[in-house]
Structure 1
């Protein structure tokens, strides 16, 4: 004989509580928002004014304190993939353009 479990209807899922908005002090003591690797790469390219490889961008971003790898072994490969993904998905709206093999510049 098999015994069947009686199933009960579950309650509707409760809505997750929203995070409270962070408040900043009036004296401007809030930390500046950290740049993403793509934002930092765009800033480095804008300051440099010429095409750069991802390895050069990573070194410049670390030297200027814009972005550092959070312990990744190949941040240049991750940046390369992210830039290519932005070029592919945004097409004409992308901030980057590929100028040569392994080199990127700001889009015109």
Structure 2
């Protein structure tokens, strides 16, 4: 059976807190100014990369039939909507993300599972 080692506690001395003199004043804080949104800012936000789920919704909107995850990934990459950042199984990731959206949002989800592994847009 293992035994515990005990160590003697060292005596510590308490230091008294030092206070700043009451005459010291803080510099006044500058008010934050907001710049109005311009057309240039709006143009930059539309140039953002599309998320995988947004790209999947766009691909399914263009498709006439339900698609599986591998086909969606191939079409997303071919059209340049979204590319995998280097993962080995992007089809499994998009499959899980679509199922998670269906599970959490219910009837408001963008996707519907039509068959085993196949999805279409919710109408």
Shorter chain as denominator, the TM-score bin is 0.7 to 0.9
TM-score by length of 2: 0.67
- Segments of 5+ residues of structure 2 without an aligned counterpart are 1-9, 18-33
Moved beyond 3 Å, runs of 4+: 4-8, 20-26
1:5-84 correspondence runs (5 A): 25=40, 30=44, 32-84=47-99
SS at match of 1:46: helix
Q: Computing the radius of gyration over CA atoms, which structure comes out larger, 1 or 2?
A: 2
Alpha-carbon RMSD across the aligned residues, in angstroms, is 2.6
Ranges in structure 1 where 5+ consecutive residues have no aligned partner: 9-19
Q: Structure with the greater relative contact order (CA < 8 A, sep ≥ 6): 1 or 2?
A: 1
Distance 1:44 1:7, change over 3 A: farther
Residue in 2 that maps onto 1:93: 108
How far has the Cα of 1:4 moved from its partner? 5.7
